[in-house]
Amino acid sequence: MYKHLINNALHKQTKYAKDLNCLENAIADFLGSNSTFREPTPFILNRGKRIRSILYFMHWDNSAIIHPDVKYKTIALIELIHFASILHDDVIDNNMVRRNSASFLSEYGAEKSIVHGDLLLVKAIDELLKLHHDNELVKNFCIRECSATAYGAILERNLTLNSSFQDCLRASALKTASLFKLCCFLSSLISSNDFELSKKSAIFGLCFGVLFQFQNDLDSYSSPDCRNSEDFMQKNITLPLIILRDKLHFDVSKFKSLEQIVYNEIQTLMYSHAFQKYAEESLNKFSRIVNT
């Protein structure tokens, strides 16, 4: 549904190939200088879409005279913060597969996943604050948005079948969209030093993050087999499910079932014209900003 907006960004991988290569080098340098991260290193370097990095490079002012170390180390550290959250998420959701490969959890277990996630998060945030030690605005924004992801994770776990659309939206905006927002804001502010422009970039990142999470939730129901849907099998409360409840009057009590027939019903409704209509109405303000 909103996949075209996400794909428009992903298609810029070629345009930013050089930047993305420098990013990977910065991540590798960080990991290489910290022997503590020897075990998670192969999993971290098994790169995903790097969608946050692409947004970062999209909002960078190329006329800026900024040392490359600052440019690439900043986004590298944000990617590492994101991976730290993945280590925690995989424990919570018992994910044995990540990026089409065995997850760190499946190889090393929950204890090491939690410990490495904690250590990587603290170390990456510490390095990010040191890198921008002379800019209080950058430091405060980093702390705020990293904290927001943790708070959003708590809100997400507390969602129930009775939660409102706004409850789900808030959890998504904090847990997922905060790092998108951080990438866009930092890129714009560091390179342009234009606060008003940076605020617009932050709003773009927030809106993109909400749409990205919504599409990801929707994609969780794309497989014919319910066992391949993490959200269905683990009974995760997501925005698409709430729209089914509120707009298409789906009996959410059925969601407690693990039966394939219930999954098929939800899947059919989520990919119906009526659902798309209501979803677009509900998220129109976000897609409008991303489209501009």
**Any idea what the CATH number is for the domain that residue 98 is in?**
1.10.600.10
pLDDT at 37: 93
pLDDT at 6: 94
Mean pLDDT of 104-132: 96
Give the DSSP H or E segment for 125.
Answer: helix 104-131
CA dihedral of 152, 157, 161, 165, whole degrees rounded to 10 = 0
Supply 197's token pair: 């422009």
Q: Give the domain range for residue 7.
A: 3-291
Angle at 156 between CA 270 and CA 47, to 5 degrees: 80
pLDDT at 246: 97
pLDDT at 190 > cutoff 90: yes
CA 92 vs CA 105, 114, 216, 258: distances in Å? 10, 10, 18, 19
pLDDT at 106: 94
**Judging by beta carbons within 10 Å of its beta carbon (0-12, 13-18, 19+), is residue 260 exposed, middle or buried?**
middle
pLDDT at 34: 87
Q: How many CB atoms lie within 10 A of CB 166?
A: 9
More confident residue, 94 or 244: 244
Confidence class of residue 26 from pLDDT cuts 50, 70 and 90? very high
Mean pLDDT of 103-127: 95
Alpha helices in 3-103 (DSSP H): 3-10, 17-32, 41-45, 51-58, 68-93
Mean pLDDT of 257-278: 96
Cα separation, 53 vs 17, whole angstroms: 11
Total tally of structural domains belonging to the chain:
1
pLDDT digits (tens, 9 = 90+) for 208-256: 999 999 999 999 999 999 999 989 999 999 999 999 999 999 999 999 9
Cα separation, 60 vs 55, whole angstroms: 9
pLDDT at 46: 85
Mean pLDDT of 143-152: 96
pLDDT at 33 > cutoff 80: yes
Mean pLDDT of 94-119: 91
pTM of the predicted model as reported, rounded to 2 decimal places: 0.95
Cα separation, 109 vs 117, whole angstroms: 12
pLDDT at 2: 83
Q: In b/e form, how buried is each residue of 185-196, taking b as 16+ CB within 10 angstroms?
A: bbbbbbbbeeee
Q: Which of 3-7, 240-244, 264-268 has the lowest mean pLDDT?
A: 3-7
pLDDT at 155: 96
